Structure 1
Amino acid sequence: MLYALGLGYGDDPTDPRQVQFVYEQGLKSVPSICVVLAHPGFWINTPNLEIDWVKVLHGEQAFTLHSPLPAEGVVRGEYDVVAVEDKGPKGAVMHVTKRLYDDESDALLSEVTSVYMLRGDGGCGDYGTVPTPPQPLPDRDPDMTVEISTLPQSALIYRLSGDRNPIHADPEAARKAGFDRPILHGLCSMGIATRAIIDAVADGDPDRLKALSLRFSKPVYPGETLQISIFRDGADYRFSARAMERDLVVLDRGTAVLNN
């Protein structure tokens, strides 16, 4: 429920499509919660990794669900750094995979992949096999749009789900990272895009969502309204999102896959 509130669910407390995620009677989990479950903490600032964590940006994110996530239970996350791209003076790109298991049955619940831009760490060398990058969106008008407003305190609520990076709460840390004020978590904006997909193309049923991926193109500031543009692409859906106040694309090259 705390995770769902961080995504803004409950802004219409009379809408059963929202209440299902924030009320214990018939409670369901938002599918994108898999990205924060079994969170390893702020590991990227571990001294022996020698990563300039202040300059790290979250570049891309994806998840695939192997079964609907239960509203309660115990899970286990297993992480691997699967690839590193050395971009020289531009820095480096790190690809991380998490496998999320039901701790009792050992069943694989979901696979989550993250891409991080290490802007201060070029010259580290390459490692592993780099995944195929996401493809551009169709060059046409979207089939539908959804608007979802964020709260000024959205980042302060969302960080309680596990991501305590200070650039989302501390104005001074945000300034050191190059932002004029704390920014919204990329994974929060991804959760908001998940909200839009569930409402617009899955009839409000979270169990219909099988996979979702996207690229973070620009930071979102708490309090902004996101307009999610959705394109039908065969059996799948492509999407992007822009911050309406700045008329700026903040999420791009998104893909959502539904269960048949």
Structure 2
Amino acid sequence: MPLDYAKLKSMRIEPVRHTYTRRDTMLYALGLGVGADDPTAASDLKYIYEKSLVALPMQAVTLAAAPLLLAEPEFGINYKLLLHAEQSLLVHKPLPVEGTVIGEFSVDEIYDKGASKGAILYMTRKLVDASNGDLLATMSVVSFLRGDGGFGGKSEGAPKPRPVPADRAADHSVALANPRNQALIYRLSGDYNPLHIDPEIAAIAGFNRPILHGLCHYGMAGRALIAALCDDDPSRLQRLDTRFTSPVYPGEPLHVELWNIAAGDASFRVVASERNVVVQDFGRCEYRA
């Protein structure tokens, strides 16, 4: 059955209510490798020690996530061929270290790239503080539906991410901590896809070992950018966009390359250092200068 455009566009997604604790906030930070290099560094302790705990804004991507509605047969999506292609985060208010949040969802648009080229699905999630109704974050998720092109939809008009500068070298490069057990910790924040822990499942998917969650190395990049651009103040981060371009293996060296574009605006990409492969591209980071 082909993708049902009308049914997807009119899909009603019930809001998701999610209560999280300080322990979840600390676990998320550990899942990004915080404290891996120096567990006594004050810059890391604030994310993993309850004494003066603050939340990393990227934790929003793990909260009040939608159920796997896209896997329902009625929508006609070949869910096994779906890939998380892009992630964006707009921060409206600092994320509390604990509390209850509500996720509100919408299907924005689906673009048809052709029968042999797949389709692109845009969805938005708004994260609201249940205690006062404040909008905390707006997230956009772009999914590449590799097996669902040719359904008869429009092919033009999709938003185009901003490329990193091609005319000059990066202004800074920051190494990322990526311990070999990184995926084992990060999955405890809610993404239990066996691709990230089970060697047999990874082999079926064509990998020689389990791969790292895309949203894990997205969070790792965000942590590095907060340190490099925001004087290590997470409340200054306002926007973090990226496109996932290649898998990452737990334990392999990574680094972020960043370009200063204007005051409060930078471009970035993430590179697997030893393989010299770009694993995130079209990165955009906006922050309060």
Sort the TM-score into its range (normalised by shorter chain). Answer: over 0.9
Which one has a bigger Cα radius of gyration? 2
Residue number in structure 1 paired with 2:62: 36
Partner amino acid, structure 1, of 2:97: A
Shift of 1:228: 0.4
Name the TM-score, length of structure 1 as normaliser: 0.94
Show the 5 A alignment for 1:1-260. 1-11=26-36, 12-88=38-114, 89-126=116-153, 131-139=158-166, 140-235=168-263, 236-260=265-289
Relative to 1, partners in 2 of residues 1:43 and 1:159: Cα closer, same or farther, differing over 3 Å? farther
Shift of 1:40: 2.2
Partner amino acid, structure 1, of 2:29: A
SS at match of 1:21: helix
Cα deviation 1:172-194 (Å, max 9, x = unaligned): 33233332322111111110110
Shift of 1:245: 2.1
Contact 1:41 1:162 in 2 (8 A): no
Shift of 1:129: 8.9
Distance 1:24 1:129 in 2: 49
Partner amino acid, structure 1, of 2:153: D
Q: Which moved more, 1:56-65 or 1:82-91?
A: 82-91
Contact 1:64 1:111 in 2 (8 A): yes
Distance 2:162 2:82 in 1: 23
Partner amino acid, structure 2, of 1:97: T
Structure 2 regions of 5+ residues with no counterpart? 1-25
Structure 1 regions of 5+ residues with no counterpart? none
Distance 1:78 1:178 in 2: 35
Cα deviation 1:2-54 (Å, max 9, x = unaligned): 11111000111121111111111110101101111112244443333332222
Q: Which moved more, 1:16-25 or 1:49-58?
A: 49-58
SS at match of 1:253: strand
Partner amino acid, structure 2, of 1:10: G
Contact 1:83 1:128 in 2 (8 A): no
Q: Which moved more, 1:179-188 or 1:60-69?
A: 179-188
SS at match of 2:239: strand
The list of structure 1 runs, each at least 4 consecutive aligned residues, that deviate by more than 4 angstroms after superposition, is 127-131
SS at match of 2:221: helix
Distance 1:67 1:127 in 2: 35
Distance 2:148 2:156 in 1: 19
Residue number in structure 1 paired with 2:6: none
Shift of 1:142: 1.0
Relative to 1, partners in 2 of residues 1:172 and 1:59: Cα closer, same or farther, differing over 3 Å? same
Relative to 1, partners in 2 of residues 1:109 and 1:214: Cα closer, same or farther, differing over 3 Å? same
Relative to 1, partners in 2 of residues 1:172 and 1:52: Cα closer, same or farther, differing over 3 Å? farther
Name the TM-score, length of structure 2 as normaliser: 0.85
Q: Which moved more, 1:59-68 or 1:177-186?
A: 177-186
Cα deviation 1:103-131 (Å, max 9, x = unaligned): 12111111000111111222234379955
Determine what percentage of the aligned residue pairs are the same residue.
45
Distance 2:244 2:71 in 1: 21
